[in-house]
Every structure is written in structure tokens, then in C-alpha cells.
Amino acid sequence: MQARLDKLNKIKELNIDPFPHSCERTHNTGEVLTDFDSLKENEITINLTGRLVSLRLMGKAAFAHLQDEDSKLQIYIKRDIIGQETWQLFKLLDIGDIIGVSGKLFITRTEERTLEVSALSLLSKNLRPLPSTKEKDGQRWHEWSDKDEKYRNRSVDLIVNPDSREVFWKRSLIISEIRRFLDEQMGFIEVETPVLQPLYGGATARPFVTHHQALDRQLYLRIADELYLKRLITGGFNRVYEIAKDFRNEGLDRFHSPEFTMLECYAAYEDYKFCMKLLEDLLPQLAVSIHGSTSLKWAGHDINLSAPYKRVTMVELAREKTEIEIVNRDRDELAGELKQLGIAIEPEWGTGKLIDELFSEKIEPELIQPTFVIDYPVELSPLAKKHRKTDGLVERFELFIGGHEFANSFTELNDPIEQRLRLEEQARLRAAGDEEASPVDEAFLQSLEIGMPPTTGLGVGVDRLVMLLTGCDSIRDVILFPTLRDKHQDKPPQ
């Protein structure tokens, strides 16, 4: 860094501003490479901006590579072309500097497409050296390979790892395609609901708590958007969705982050079968947009996202995989059966939590191809409508792919009297020690008392969906700035 600071001072002595305000560019490197033959033939002057990522000085000339947001291009700099003053500046440049260049295209004797530089300017001097990188036969390697460093220094990761840049380009495309699908094909409108909420609800999770100073009031970061979105359905918006950050005060692992992105959408006058069809239309469309095919590899599995997806009830799966009946069960009797299977349980867990743990440990990992697990016990779903045919169940499904949950949907409960009873039961569980149980939300109940039409709702974990479609094995790989433990913290604080 000191050597670069010395160079910075020498550049200033040449009366050159090392951090100018702007620079005109006519193309990016991707456009140049795509239209190279035409631009070369017509001798078009090209203005490029980007970062120096390689530099090879050869007396009074040099070759370098310029990298921008799209790709990289070789540039050729010769003293006799750019002049002595600019050559003096060029010799003070380092790998990592951001520059602007102007010139015309040619092909070298080794047949590499190249820009011959006629003018050069410094746009930002790099003071902190980048990790050294090498490339041969399309393979890249560098001294900076610690994944934890990659997450903590995302700027460096995006510069030296093209694969990381590609993941986040694809993430942006995936989210844009979801919006386009819901807006143009399904007739939804996008809305925004509060991040700071006086009560948390819409999921079973422990919230983050904060304090509003001016109001002298405790608030929560939302764990879900559900209750507010359903209030909009009551208000007369028949199809609404939100792609938003949710926050759950839980552990960190490959599939869980305390801050994550969720798609939630709600459609009036529909039931949960509507959401199954929505996913069967959306997911293949996303796969084709990203891969050109509905077949992909993820977590060691060959997965096909072509519709239709398998449908099987949770009761059938539990019976098949564990020989345990899960409907209308005595809590203590069910707990004993889980213990016999070697599943560790907590004394404050209710029946719903026990069933969820049984499913998570013994059934979920085996659901590899896209599978709708449908019709859950009522204890697991306090916001879902009772099954129209089977007592003790609700109309709910979750979509599993590669042994993990990707989506959750209900035929929504719109009976305010029954909803109040279920939320009061959740409140009792919370008072007994279940910190993930939901509180009673009077504003939501009043909305139901006004009258909410028959409605279905769907939640999709966007981060997991990006993992699937980009082949990433950790949620940290698809979140630009993931929440991490302190660098020297071996385990979470108690």
C-alpha cells in the first residue's frame, strides 16, 4: 500500500487528478466482443472504462486486460501512440486501478481481440492491492480462496471471481422474471408493507426486537408479510404480492439466514390448488430463462422442474416413512414415539412442533424431485383453512426440491371467530415457553371481521430458489452481504 501511495503522490505531482468526477464511455466490453468484427471493419473509435486486472510491460509498449461489469478485453498501449506524458502516467498504474481508454480494435498475431489505445485517463487509483490471480486454459486460481473472506469482502470477491458476478446477475434476472410473470401473466400488483411492526405474525419464528425512540415503543422486524397482505385483500385488491426482506432471529447455516428475501402473493376467490398451478408455470419458466432447460443439477441431484409435480399428503408420507399417525394425536403419546425414533425434543413443544420436527428429520431429506406435500395437521397451520373433506387437517402444501422446502401455501382461513381461537391457542403456547408461537393480532382479526373473501396465499424463499437455479450450495453464496459471526467467534453466544 505504501508503494501505491507513493505512486499516487507522483501522479498528483504531474497535475493529474487521480479521482476525477466522470468519464464518457461508448461501449462495454461485452458489446465490443459481440460486435467486434463490425466495429473493427468500420474503424469505430471505442471508449471503454474498467479495472486493470493484468499488466505486461515490454519496454516502450504494454499489453493489459481491462475488466468491467460484463467481461474483459485486452488493450495495447504504446508510448509512441499515447505520447510521453500519458506514458509517464501509465507507468505509475497498478493492477486494480480503474481507467478510461479510447482507441480502435485490431487482432494480434496470437489472434486475440484487442483495443489499441490512443488516449488513457486514470479514474480511480487502487491503494489496497487485490489478491493475485492467474488463469490458464480457462481455469482461474488465486491466493484468496477462503470462503469466509469472500463473504466478508464481497467487493474483492466480485472483482476476482467471475462466477460470483454471474450468480448475482442471474439473481437479478430471476427476480425480474418473477415480477414479469406475476404482473403480466397473472394480473397481480406489487405492494409494500411495513418492515417495522407493532406485532409480528404470519409465521412461527422468533423476531428481532427494536425500540422506536420518539414513540417510546417496542417494535419488531417483520418475520413475514402475510397478515398485512391479507388486509389488502380485505380492502379490495384481489391479487397482491411483495418481494421483500424478512427477518427471523434464528441460527445460521447453509439454508438459513436471519435476513432473507421472500416472495409472498395472495389471490382472492382461489384456493391452494391455484398456487400449485402457479408454481408449476413459474418454475419451469425461470429454469428455461437461466439454463435454457428445465433439467439441472443441484446438491448432487439431477432435478427436473418440468410440470406436473408429484402430490402426496403429509399423513401418507409420515405413515410410509415412520409408521406414525400424526392426526388428532395426544401430545405426550406422540412425543414418546418421536423419542423412540431418536429425535430430540423440548418439553415446551406442542403437537404441531413435534410433527414438524418428525417431518424435518425423517421425511423432508428424501423429497428430491419437485413434490407438493399437501394437507397438513391443523396444529401446524394456525392461519390455514380447515380441509373441506378430512377432519383434523388444513388445506396447505409445501413444495420440496432436493430435500429442502422452497414454498408454502394455504387456502387462507377467513372465518374471524375460528381465527381468533387459533391465535389464542398460539398465545397460550407462547406463554408456556414457545418463543416461535404467534401473538394475537387484533388489527388483523378486525380486518377478517370486516370480511375477507375466499383467498389463497403463497410464500417462496427467493434465496433458496436462486441457490437452486445457480447451483450454489450455501445461502451465503446468493446474498451479497450475508449476516456472519464475528470473525474470531467460534460459536454463537448463549
Quote the CA–CA distance of 350 and 433 in Å, as a whole number.
10
Quote the CA–CA distance of 314 and 121 in Å, as a whole number.
64
Residues contacting 321, CB < 8 A, separation 6+: 362, 363, 366
Residue type, 111: E
Edge-to-edge strand order for the sheet containing 371-377? 189-190, 239-247, 259-268, 455-461, 404-411, 393-401, 371-377, 310-313
pLDDT tens digits, one per residue of 255-281: 999 999 999 999 999 999 999 999 999
Whether 48 has a pLDDT exceeding 70, the answer reads yes
The lowest-confidence range among 16-25, 64-73, 133-142 is 133-142
Percentage of the chain surpassing pLDDT 70? 96
Q: What is the mean pLDDT of residues 321-328?
A: 92
Whether 301 has a pLDDT exceeding 60, the answer reads yes
Which H/E stretch holds residue 209?
Answer: strand 209-212
pLDDT at site 94: 96
Backbone angles phi, psi at 60, to 5 degrees: -100, 20
In the predicted model, what is the mean pLDDT of the chain? 93
Q: Binning pLDDT at 50, 70 and 90, where does residue 146 land? A: confident
Q: Binning pLDDT at 50, 70 and 90, where does residue 147 land? A: confident
Whether 432 has a pLDDT exceeding 80, the answer reads yes
The conformation of residue 331, written as its DSSP 8-state character, comes to: H
Whether 135 has a pLDDT exceeding 70, the answer reads no
Q: Binning pLDDT at 50, 70 and 90, where does residue 133 land? A: low
Q: Binning pLDDT at 50, 70 and 90, where does residue 494 land? A: very low
Whether 434 has a pLDDT exceeding 80, the answer reads no
Residue 122 Cα distances to 8, 19, 27, 114, 115, angstroms: 11, 7, 18, 20, 17
Using DSSP, state whether 249 is helix, strand or coil. Answer: coil
Q: Binning pLDDT at 50, 70 and 90, where does residue 142 land? A: low
Quote the CA–CA distance of 81 and 90 in Å, as a whole number.
12
Q: Binning pLDDT at 50, 70 and 90, where does residue 138 land? A: low
Residue 10 Cα distances to 6, 15, 60, 64, 90, angstroms: 6, 9, 20, 22, 12
Residue 167 Cα distances to 161, 171, 174, 470, 480, angstroms: 10, 6, 10, 6, 10
Torsion angle (degrees, nearest 10) of CA 384, 386, 388, 392? 130
Tally Cβ neighbours within 10 Å of residue 5. 11
The lowest-confidence range among 197-201, 241-245, 381-385, 466-470 is 381-385
> Which sequence spans correspond to the domains of the chain?
2-129, 164-477
Give the up-direction half-sphere exposure of residue 358: CA atoms within 13 A in the CB hemisphere.
30
pLDDT tens digits, one per residue of 212-261: 999 999 999 999 999 999 999 999 999 999 999 999 999 899 999 999 99
Within this chain, domains 2-129 and 164-477 share the same CATH topology: no
| Closest to 73 measured CA to CA, from 26, 36, 45 | 36
pLDDT at site 436: 77
Q: What is the mean pLDDT of residues 156-178?
A: 95
Q: Binning pLDDT at 50, 70 and 90, where does residue 493 land? A: very low
Which CATH superfamily is 2-129 part of? Nucleic acid-binding proteins (2.40.50.140)
**Which pTM does this prediction carry?**
0.91
Residue type, 179: R
pLDDT tens digits, one per residue of 51-100: 999 999 999 999 999 999 989 999 999 999 999 999 999 999 999 999 99
| Closest to 107 measured CA to CA, from 152, 198, 40, 196 | 40
* CATH code linked to domain 164-477: 3.30.930.10
Q: What is the mean pLDDT of residues 13-18?
A: 97
